[in-house]
Amino acid sequence: MSAKIIDGKAIAAEIREELKKEVEEMKEQHGVVPGLVTILVGQNPASVSYVTAKQKTAHELGFYSVQDDQPEDIPEDELLNLIDKYNNDPKIHGILVQLPLPKHINEKKVINAIDPDKDVDCFHPVNLGRLVIGGEETRFLPCTPAGIQELIVRSGFETSGAEVVVVGRSNIVGKPIAIMMMQKGPGANATVTVVHTRTKDLASHCKRADILIVAAGVPGLVKPEWIKPGACVIDVGVNRVGEKKSEKTGRMIPILKGDVDFDAAKEIAGAITPVPGGVGPMTITMLMKNTVRAAQYAIGK
C-alpha cells in the first residue's frame, strides 16, 4: 500500500493561521506586534531568496519586520554593533542573521552576540543548553527540528515509546531533533538512536525505526529495504541534482531530491515527506512561531 504523503505546505499553512490569531490577540490585548529583523550580509542568491521568503511570511502574519542588508565587506565589529542595536530595540523581538557569513566574520562570535531572548533561530549556546535541559527551561526550539516534530505529531504518529532513528548529527538538525524526541513530554518520550558517517551498519539501525528522520545531505542514501513497513519517514535532505526548465516561468530551476529514495520508499512506509514540500515549508513557519514566542516572553518580562 502506498504511504500517506505528509504535506508540509498544508501543515505549515495551518500553523500560520494559528499564529495569525495569536498575533491579533497580542495586538488587541497588549498593543504589541511581534518584530523580526533579518540581517543579510552580501548578496548570495540562495541567502537572498531565504531572507525574502522569511520577510514575506512575517508580513503576511502582520509582524513588524525589518530587512537589514549589509555589504559583503562589513567589518566584524560593525556587524556586532548592529546586533547590539537590535538587542536594545524594544520593537524587535527576534534577530536572524542569515548564514553563512563571509569568511572574514567569525560566525560563532556573531551568534553569541545575539541576546538569547531574541535568538529566534535557536543557535545560541544558552538556548541549546536550555533545550537539552528541556521542560520549562526550554525557550525556543530550533526551526527545522521544530518543524519535523510538528509534522510527526500532526500526522498522528505516536512518539511515546517509539523507536526513532536520526541519520545525521549536525548542530542544526540531527543533534537537536534527537534531543527533542528523547525528552519527557508530548510529541517526544521516544527511544532515540543517532547514526552518522562512522556508524558501522546504517541499514540495521534504520530498519528498527518506527520514525526515521534523515538529515544527511546525500541524495538517495536511505534505500527502501532499510525502511520498516508502516514507518513514518521524515526526509530533511535537500540536494540539487540538476536543473530543469520551469513550466510556469520558463526559467531554469534546480531539481531537488531528498536523502530517501522517495518513489520506492513510499510503497513501504506508512507516511513520508516529499522533497520539496515536506520539511522545507515548515522551517520558516517555525521561525515565525519563535518570534511570536519571543514577543510573548517580552510582554511577560
Residue whose grid cell is 504523503: 5
For residue 240, what are the β-bridge partners?
256
> Is 100:41 a contact under the CB 8 Å cutoff?
no
Q: Which is nearer to ligand NAD, 7 or 117 (CB)?
A: 7
Give the number of other Cβ atoms within 10 Å of residue 251's Cβ. Answer: 8
Residue 197 binds ligand NAD (CB under 6 A): yes
Please confirm, yes or no, whether 54 is among the known catalytic residues.
Answer: yes
Least Cβ distance, residue 282 to ligand NAD (angstroms): 7
Please confirm, yes or no, whether 121 is among the known catalytic residues.
Answer: yes
Catalytic residue among 7, 54, 149, 259: 54
Please confirm, yes or no, whether 301 is among the known catalytic residues.
Answer: no
Residue whose grid cell is 495569525: 20
Q: State which of residues 42, 102, 116, 217 lies at the interface with ligand NAD (CB under 6 A).
A: 217
Residues 231-270 that bind ligand NAD (CB under 6 A): 236-239
Residue 255: alpha-carbon gap to chain centroid: 21
> Is 152:234 a contact under the CB 8 Å cutoff?
yes
Residue 218 binds ligand NAD (CB under 6 A): yes
The interface region with ligand NAD, picked from 56-64, 90-98, 123-131, 209-217 by CB under 6 A, is: 209-217
Residue 222 binds ligand NAD (CB under 6 A): no
Catalytic residue among 7, 117, 119, 121: 121
Whole-angstrom distance, CA of residue 142 vs CA of residue 179: 11
CA distance readout (Å), 72 to 29, 36, 100, 257: 41, 22, 11, 30
Which residues lie near ligand NAD (CB under 6 A)?
144, 167-170, 172-174, 195-197, 202, 215-218, 221, 236-239, 279-280, 283
Give catalytic residue positions.
Answer: 54, 98, 121
